[in-house]
Amino acid sequence: MTFNKVFYGLWVLLFALFAFWQFNDPDPEIWVSIYAVAIIFCLLGFRGIFPKIPLTVVFAACVIGAALFWQGDVSSWVSQEVEQHNLSMKTDFMEESRESFGLIIIALVMLPGVIKAWKKKS
């Protein structure tokens, strides 16, 4: 089994889990859809398919979205998460921090595919 199959196969499962957890979110239609798109591109990566423009657009959208949601104080968010001892959302700050972090994860998972897509000779 190749690295692509293991890497993208694992992320298909993780993004499916992330999407499942979004059903109790205040805006599940947005976040389940975002994770579904990540799943689709991971399934393509699993098959060795890296569509240059769509993959680049998804990567860029995640980076831009993460920057827009970013609250700037990660230590405050982490300390709030640790202090509450559960995963319930207590503040808008926590929700936006989690959403930003999710977009960063998607972007990082998409990055190897973007690099492969742009290195591949047309």
- Provide the residue range defining the domain that includes 101: 3-119
Residue showing tokens 């599940």: 28
The total number of structural domains that make up the chain: 1
Chain length of the chain: 122
Instruction: Reply yes or no on whether the pLDDT at 118 is more than 90.
Output: yes
User: Please, is 45 exposed, middle or buried when counting C-beta atoms within 10 Å of its C-beta (0-12, 13-18, 19+)?
Assistant: buried
Q: What is the arithmetic mean of pLDDT over 1-25?
A: 92
Q: Are 45 and 83 in contact (CB under 8 A)?
A: no
Q: What is the pTM of this model?
A: 0.84
- Binning pLDDT at 50, 70 and 90, where does residue 79 land? low
